[in-house]
Copies of this chain bind each other. A is one copy, B any other.
Amino acid sequence: MIAEDQLEKKRNHIRQAAVTVFARMGYHNSRVSDIAKEAEVAYGLFYHYFPSKDDVLIDIFQNAWTNLLKGLEHIDKKIENPVEKIKAVVKFSLDEYEKNPDLLKVIVMDVPRLDKFYSEENQRIFNRYFHRVSQMITKGQEAGVFNKDVSPQIISYLTLGAVDALIRQYVYNPSIKKGQGKVSKMTDQMVKVLVNGIL
């Protein structure tokens, strides 16, 4: 249906406007009217596409996380070498930041503060990431590449922690963007430490 495409397009448009606004002012300081203004649509139209302000944030999370999981799956299938696999995972997440920093900022900074976020459904989505990364580590341990002393699960947390740390640096220290703080450089550094740490 062309009509349905239009609908989904507009939905996307409003969602992206929400991301922009949330990234700029934070979820709690953003008003629905700000989103509407950013999207250049009428106030009430927001509510044609999303049931509430909370729900658009959940939607943003689910959308992004679904993409992230697809990326992981792709990496898992395509790359054999455990070291390269883990490198690719961290790089993938951080590369997403260069593509859409606002999106990651919102997910790291705002989503976890929303009560509605702590639903069974979201926890499942969320844990799927850890399961997959854990599996990769476990396989690497079984292949004798990774140190068997470290808990795969905790490494999976640390992987995400690295991503968070970087994003938070950008949020805390916007000045970092110039000079040595370029994302790609920081990514390389973080990956190196992480991988060395578990060899």
Interchain CB contact (< 8 A) of A157 among B126, B169, B185, B197? B169
Interchain CB contact (< 8 A) of A193 among B127, B192, B194? B194
Known: A164-B165, A165-B161. A154 touches B190 (CB 8 A): yes
> Within 8 Å of chain B (Cβ to Cβ): is A5?
no
Q: What residues of chain B lie closer than 8 Å to A197, measured between beta carbons?
A: 192-198
Q: What residues of chain B lie closer than 8 Å to A180, measured between beta carbons?
A: 151, 153
B189-A151 in contact (CB<8A) = yes
Interface string of A120-155 (1 = CB under 8 A from B): 000100110000000000000000000101110111
> Within 8 Å of chain B (Cβ to Cβ): is A168?
yes
In the assembled complex, the Cα of A26 lies from the Cα of B161 at a distance in Å of 21
Complex interface: stretch among A6-14, A66-74, A106-114: A106-114
Q: List 21 A-B contacts (CB under 8 A).
A: A29-B115, A123-B173, A150-B189, A150-B192, A151-B180, A154-B189, A154-B190, A154-B193, A155-B189, A157-B169, A158-B162, A161-B161, A161-B165, A164-B165, A193-B194, A193-B197, A193-B198, A196-B197, A196-B198, A196-B199, A197-B197
Binding site for B on A (CB under 8 A): 26-29, 109-110, 112-113, 115, 118, 123, 126-127, 147, 149-151, 153-155, 157-158, 160-162, 164-166, 168-169, 171-173, 180, 185-186, 189-190, 192-199
